[in-house]
């Protein structure tokens, strides 16, 4: 009896495999659409073949197994075409083994395919509990039909009564388990899709609200100063001051829009070879007035290694990181920018001596709309940085402690690893010399 139960469990294992694996594979939307459409039917056909190949060991000429469960499931969930295909596979493969069971298999398979074709549309509209109940009932009915046909057409082939009773109990119980798992997987996938849609809608809502809020402030200020210039008699120096403030507010609005567009745009399609040393020096020239205003001393240790990327985006990435570092030192400090080679990649390390961040702030860094500046920023600068570094096939690591400063380490592929023909002999010599002094094992 235990051996028979073990064989039923083996059949049940075969049936559960596609129930768990197929829905999640097809949900990923990988591969041709036609393949994903037919994959469940193919998997159920393979399971039917396995069940017939490894039946319950009754010591009798009749082949007892759980092939009817994948036949029911594939037919009810797949429709008329799947039902016909699975019925043909069942009858054809069972014919190879011979015996009176061929005719019984043919009758039962045709009945299951016909019943499934009639019930498919109704089955799709049923709630989960009623689906499970219906499949369990149908499975018990087809099992009862099988036992009755075997007793009527081939009494000598009928297994012992205990085996027949076990079959009539195990098949619907197995169907109940399999269908419950199938519905659970289907429900989880549907729930996941709803959550993804809800998150996308929430992101769009936040984006619209954030753009509206961030753009409205500088535009309102600019409009107010322009009205003052038009409506009131002003001295020339006052007029110039108001015009300058209005222009600064418009520039701030443009910068906000640029941040949003950079985050939304796809990765650059035409990267070029960039000299890291020259690009950093250019960014430092831009950021130096802000550093002077904040009493921040900029120290650099730069090497002329090259990376591949889009020039303006790379500069914006460096500018965002350095600007954040300077703003984190309102009472002055030191900004260190260091370039070297680490494990064959270009390392750009930007460290400040500012206020630092907590562990919770570090975990949220780079996520949409998170900022440590309160209402002073839309929380997009570091999100843009992450996006640009990712588009350049690089990685970023940030370390920080409260009142100890923050260190941003950017790792980018060396241009020579992407296109050996683009790197100069001088740069190769520099790289070799660096490796010799810093990593003798190279």
3-class secondary-structure state, position 30: coil
3 Cβ contact list (under 8 Å, min separation 6): 57
- pTM summary value: 0.51
| Spatial separation of the C-alpha atoms in residues 73 and 125, rounded to whole Å | 15
pLDDT, tens digit (0-9, with 9 covering 90-100), for 352-409: 998 888 887 777 675 554 455 544 444 567 777 888 888 889 999 999 888 889 999 9
Quick one: tokens of 74?
A: 């594939």
Provide the pLDDT for residue 188. Answer: 86
CATH T-level assignment (fold) for domain 272-438? Heat Shock Protein 90 (3.30.565)
26 Cβ contact list (under 8 Å, min separation 6): 36, 39, 40
Where are the domains positioned within the chain? 1-195, 198-264, 272-438
pLDDT, tens digit (0-9, with 9 covering 90-100), for 25-80: 766 655 566 666 788 889 999 999 998 888 876 555 567 789 999 999 999 988 89
Work out the end-to-end distance of the chain between its first and last CA atoms, rounded to an integer number of angstroms: 66
**Cα–Cα–Cα angle for 309, 314, 319, rounded to 5 degrees:** 175
Strand residues in 246-394 grouped as ranges (E)? 272-275, 296-301, 306-309, 333-342, 345-352
CATH T-level assignment (fold) for domain 1-195? Arp2/3 complex 21 kDa subunit ARPC3 (1.10.1760)
- Kindly tell me the burial class for residue 232, based on how many C-beta atoms sit within 10 Å of its own C-beta (0-12, 13-18, 19 or more): exposed
Q: Which residues of 45-61 are buried (b: 16+ CB within 10 A; e: fewer)?
A: bebbbbbbeebbebebe
Domains 1-195 and 198-264 share a fold: no
Contact of 378 with 217, CB cutoff 8 Å: no
| Spatial separation of the C-alpha atoms in residues 229 and 339, rounded to whole Å | 48
Instruction: Tell me what percent of the residues of the chain surpass a pLDDT of 70.
Output: 79
- What secondary structure, in 3-state letters, does 163-232 show? HHHHHHHHHHHHHHHHHHHHHHHHHHHHHHHHHHHHHHHHHHHHHHHHHHHHHHHHHHHHHHHHHHHHHC
| Spatial separation of the C-alpha atoms in residues 400 and 372, rounded to whole Å | 13
Provide the pLDDT for residue 441. Answer: 43
Quick one: tokens of 87?
A: 């019925």
Nearest to 85 by CA among 137, 21, 130, 41: 41
Q: How many residues does the structure list for the chain?
A: 442
pLDDT, tens digit (0-9, with 9 covering 90-100), for 160-171: 777 778 888 989
pLDDT, tens digit (0-9, with 9 covering 90-100), for 193-231: 888 888 777 766 766 766 676 677 678 878 888 888 887
Provide the pLDDT for residue 246. Answer: 83
Class of CATH domain 198-264: mainly alpha
Contact of 168 with 136, CB cutoff 8 Å: no
Q: For residue 141, what pLDDT band results from cuts at 50, 70 and 90? A: very high
| Spatial separation of the C-alpha atoms in residues 286 and 190, rounded to whole Å | 50
Contact of 101 with 63, CB cutoff 8 Å: yes
Contact of 19 with 178, CB cutoff 8 Å: yes
H/E segment holding residue 376? none
């Amino acid at each position: 009896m235990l051996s028979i139960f073990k064989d039923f469990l083996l059949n049940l294992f075969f049936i559960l495999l596609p129930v768990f694996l197929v829905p999640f594979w097809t949900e990923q939307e990988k591969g041709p659409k036609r393949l994903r459409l037919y994959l469940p039917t193919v998997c159920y056909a393979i399971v039917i073949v396995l069940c017939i190949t490894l039946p319950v060991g009754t010591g009798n000429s009749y082949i007892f197994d759980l092939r009817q469960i994948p036949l029911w499931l594939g037919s009810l969930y797949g429709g008329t075409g799947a039902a016909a295909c699975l019925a043909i596979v069942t009858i054809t493969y069972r014919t190879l083994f011979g015996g009176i069971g061929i005719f019984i298999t043919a009758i039962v398979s045709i009945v299951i395919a016909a019943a499934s074709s009639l019930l498919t549309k109704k089955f799709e509209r049923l709630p989960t509990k009623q689906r499970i109940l219906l499949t369990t009932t149908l499975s018990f009915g087809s099992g009862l039909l099988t036992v009755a046909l075997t007793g009527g057409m081939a009494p000598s082939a009928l297994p012992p009564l205990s085996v027949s009773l076990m079959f009539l109990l195990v098949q619907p119980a197995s169907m109940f388990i399999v269908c419950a798992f199938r519905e659970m997987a289907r429900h989880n996938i549907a729930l996941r899709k709803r959550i993804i849609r809800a998150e996308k809608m929430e992101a769009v809502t936040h984006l619209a609200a954030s753009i509206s809020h961030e753009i409205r402030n500088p535009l309102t200020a600019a409009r107010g100063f322009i009205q003052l210039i038009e409506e009131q008699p002003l001295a020339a120096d006052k007029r110039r001051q108001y015009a300058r403030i209005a222009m600064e507010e418009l520039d701030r609005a443009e910068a906000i829009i640029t941040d949003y567009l950079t985050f939304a745009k796809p990765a650059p399609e035409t990267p070029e070879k960039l000299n890291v040393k020259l690009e950093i020096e250019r960014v430092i020239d831009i950021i130096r007035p802000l550093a002077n205003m904040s009493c921040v001393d900029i120290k650099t240790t730069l090497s002329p290694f090259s990376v591949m990327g889009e020039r303006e985006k790379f500069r914006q990435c460096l500018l965002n990181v350095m600007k954040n570092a300077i703003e984190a030192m309102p009472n002055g400090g030191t900004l260190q920018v260091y370039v070297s080679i680490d494990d064959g990649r270009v390392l750009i390390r930007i460290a400040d001596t500012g206020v630092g961040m907590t562990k919770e702030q570090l975990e949220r860094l780079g996520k949409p709309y998170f900022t440590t500046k309160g209402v002073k920023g839309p929380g997009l600068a570091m999100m843009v940085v992450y996006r640009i570094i990712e588009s350049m096939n690089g990685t970023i690591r940030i370390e920080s402690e409260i009142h100890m400063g923050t260190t941003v380490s950017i790792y980018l592929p060396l241009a020579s690893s992407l296109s050996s023909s683009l790197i100069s002999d001088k740069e190769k010599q520099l790289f070799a010399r660096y490796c010799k002094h810093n990593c003798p094992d190279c």
